[in-house]
Structures are given as structure tokens and as C-alpha cells.
Amino acid sequence: MEDERRYYRAIPLYEGQLSVDVVYDEDVTIPAHVIDVSIGGIGVFIDNEQDPGLETGQHVFLQMRSPCLEETLTTPGAVRRCTRTEGGVTYGFEFLDWMGLLSQLPQEVRVLFNQRSEFRVGVGPYRPIEVRGLTSPFRAEGILHDISPDGLCFHVPMGGEDVLSPGRLVQIEFRLPGISQSLAFVAQIRHSEWNRGRFYCGVYFNSERTEDFRKKQGRVAEYVIDTMRGARCLPNSK
């Protein structure tokens, strides 16, 4: 699963596109925030107050809902990884009946599980991003890789493992191609990895802590949709 998740992760395009509840001990249901999905599994974040304390290898059921689904889908899953932070726990679940699940998904939802580029777009080479800690003096200049309306990925050429660990909040600021004004978000680290002298991070935007969040998210969404349309000759959505 690790190799598949590494190359096929995708992020929902908008809040509510895919909702997941984790069911264990037959009737205990825990709502989870979807981080990303892939061909073989799904990553979710659960607040500490609701964390059921699942262990690696434990089997659960995942209840999935979407505006594109006529009814809730339930599929078995297994915990393959868990990362605990101050704010909560990030779980990685493997789908135990992937083909059965895929057969029940409409096309609008199916692409979310196996076509990452449908929902994130690149921003060109060497697009700078500034990353700062909210409660620490940490500051780093990095490179923005890709972006969606809910988050983005970047790398910084230095340390900061404590500040950039999953679950932590950071301040990020960047400019998108063709937009002169910079955008600043408070974001939460989804995942981070040190590789070849660089620290790679994926974050999602924090709507409660970001000033004028809806306006900024709208500008990002507009850029994503325009880029997708231009690259794939998509029809105008209006």
C-alpha cells in the first residue's frame, strides 16, 4: 500500500465532496476529516477528543458519503499507519475490498480515487512560498509544487521537523501565476517527509484561522479550474 499511496494520492476538490465515518466495535461511529485518497486506501484526521485509539492492523468499516452518491457506501478497511500529534491522529486505511468499492462508485467520485491530477494542478517551476511558524520564530523560503482549493504541497531546503510535523499549524504566503497579489493562509500540516536534503510537506488550508478565507479560496479554485480547463480543453462550467 505504501508504494501505491505515494504515487496516487488525491485531495477532494471541495469540502463535503467525500465524507467518511470510521465504524469499529460494531456500532461506534467516529466522523473523520478526509486528508487524501488513492487507489488502495484513504488518509483521515481525527481530533484527539474523538480518537478511538486504533492500532496498526486493526480492522474497521468505513462509511462514505458524497453528493454524487445516492446512498452511503460501507467498505471494510485496515489501519496501515497512524501518526499521533497534539491536535489529533492521522490514520492511513487500506481498502480491503477495493474492487467491490470501485464497482459502486459513479464516475464523478471514481476519478477522485485514481487520478490525482484531476484535483491538483502545478504552478510552474520555482514558484516561491514563505513558511512561518505560528508560535515559533521558524521561517523558511521554499518552493510550491502544486495546489488545490483545499491545500497545497511544497518543500523547504532546511530543517524545522518540529514545526512541520503533521497536525501543526503554519503561516504560508505565495503568489499564483498571473496573480500579482500574494495569498496568505494559515494551514495545517497533513504529511511531511525529509528526502535528499529537502523537507516535503502537504498542507490543507485552515478556514477558521485564515482572514478572508472564502475570498482567498475562491481565487485558488478559480486558478485550478482555469488551469484544468486550459490543459484538458474542458467545457465552461457556466
User: Which pLDDT does position 41 carry in this prediction?
Assistant: 86
Q: Which residue has the cell 462550467?
A: 237
Helix (H) or strand (E) holding 109: helix 107-114
Q: Does domain 120-232 have CATH number 2.40.10.220?
A: yes
Q: Tell which residue, 204, 180, 195, has the closest CA to residue 13.
A: 204
Helix (H) or strand (E) holding 80: strand 73-84
Q: Tell which residue, 51, 62, 65, has the closest CA to residue 95.
A: 62
Per-residue pLDDT of 89-125, as tens digits, reads 999 999 898 777 877 777 666 656 654 434 567 787 7
User: Which pLDDT does position 66 carry in this prediction?
Assistant: 84
* pLDDT at 234 > cutoff 80: no
* pLDDT at 130 > cutoff 70: yes
CA–CA separation, 172 and 187 (whole Å): 7
Length of the chain: 238
Question: pTM score, two decimals?
Answer: 0.51
Q: Does domain 2-117 have CATH number 2.40.10.220?
A: yes
Domains in the chain: boundaries: 2-117, 120-232
